[in-house]
Structure 1
Amino acid sequence: MNPEVTTAATDGSSLGNPGPGGWAWVTEDGREGFAGARRSTNNRMELRAVLELLLAVDTGGPLVVQTDSAYVIGVFTEWLARWRARGMRTASNKPVENVDLIELIDRALQGRDVTFEKVLGHSTHVLNNRADALAHGAAQRAKQRLAREVLGQ
């Protein structure tokens, strides 16, 4: 018997780059997770969404991660092996950014059947739109919290 495939969308948002950020994941069966960060980049929030999905959803079967992030797709389908061969340096010999999250995700992928799928963002993709709204909302709430802290409230 083949386990059923779980499909999920992930997204990240940053209000400024860096700035207050948010991440979110949503599964087709209605599960979701999201949170904000005081200061982050869009790429870190995109990665964090994937990490949190992998930590929260133990499917026991195949997982399809849908993302509108070419960065996430590139890291886990093309670049990581080359970066490792170069000592975690890019083709231009710069240190790879976000290594901490990339390594955590790579460990969480071990032994799992996970496929990354590129989807068009901000379109008619229902799961991506939901993840985008949750991530953006989390970033907005993080921005509001920071503003209250600045005002001493």
Structure 2
Amino acid sequence: MTITAAADGSALGNPGPAGWAWYIDDNNWAAGGWKHATNNQGELKAVLELFRATAHVDDDLLVLCDSQYVINSVTKWMRGWKAKGWRKADGKAVMNLELLQEIDEALVGRTYRFEWVKGHANHPLNEAADSRARAVSEAYQRNAAIPSGPGFVAGGPAPAVPARKTPAAAAPVKAAASAPAVRKAPKASADLGLFDFEEDRPHTVQLALSSDELARLTRRATGSGVSPEELLRGLI
């Protein structure tokens, strides 16, 4: 399956009140923005949020975009920029660096393709994304509510990835005395389920996966923010 989506940005005054949006259909779209940003930042953010919203599904992604800057940045220039320490051929720093680095991370393990479409030429998906991005920029201009959209409903809710925090040092606490643990009697072999074992100790489970199955597992784990091993343990 291939998800086809348009991604677009808008900035009133460029820079100015700005919005971004990606659109698949009327039930699957999202938008957001800033009080002050550029049109290119909106275009990049739309692509980034599209990849993030669909990270937990295995479908390929076709991105329709009217920005040659975005398409060339992602498909042509980014690899060379990375090799030069995120600098251009003339040695100058790459603009919109943070957004580009986040997109670079979001592309890992994904199968995708970009297609240029002419803006404001009555392309239905592009027009839908454009109107939603502009609605956000206008909302910021008026200090009105931001129309954020339903998100990617078709793929179900994306797994929540907990923020990584450094735990604060805790003061020593004296543990209260507790009753000794009661060890359960092992189940009889006839009562064991598929993933029940006769002893309460770690066991090794080996799975044989094809290259395609391993790639899908890795993409799903990346989208969930865990390792493939942790994802499998959760499934078991």
Q: In structure 2, what is the Cα distance between the partners aligned to 1:29 and 1:135?
A: 14
Q: In structure 2, what is the Cα distance between the partners aligned to 1:86 and 1:80?
A: 10
Residue matched to 2:157: none
The amino acid across from 2:41 in the alignment is: R
Residue matched to 1:95: 93
Asked if 2 retains the 8 angstrom alpha-carbon contact of 1:23 and 1:48, the reply is yes
Cα RMSD of the aligned pairs, angstroms, is 1.4
Q: From 16, 19, 37, give the equivalent of 2:16.
A: 19
Please, which runs of 5 or more residues in structure 2 have no aligned partner?
Answer: 145-236
Residue matched to 1:54: 51
Q: Does 1:33 align with 2:30?
A: yes
Q: Relative to total residues, which structure has the larger helix share, 1 or 2? A: 1
Q: Does 1:9 align with 2:18?
A: no
Q: In structure 1, what is the Cα distance between the partners aligned to 2:139 and 2:33?
A: 7
Calculate the TM-score normalised by the size of structure 2: 0.58
Larger Rg: 2
Residue matched to 1:149: none
Q: Relative to total residues, which structure has the larger strand share, 1 or 2? A: 1
Structure scoring higher RCO (CA < 8 A, sep ≥ 6) equals: 1
Aligned residue for 1:94, secondary structure, equals coil
Question: What do residues 35-67 of structure 1 show as CA deviations (whole Å, max 9, x unaligned)?
Answer: 121110111110110111111124311110110
Residue matched to 2:77: 79
Calculate the TM-score normalised by the size of structure 1: 0.88
Give the deviation of 1:29 after TM superposition: 7.1
Aligned residue for 1:123, secondary structure, equals coil
Q: In structure 1, what is the Cα distance between the partners aligned to 2:37 and 2:4?
A: 26
Asked if 2 retains the 8 angstrom alpha-carbon contact of 1:6 and 1:28, the reply is no
The amino acid across from 1:103 in the alignment is: Q
Q: From 110, 122, 125, give the equivalent of 1:124.
A: 122
Q: Percent identity?
A: 45
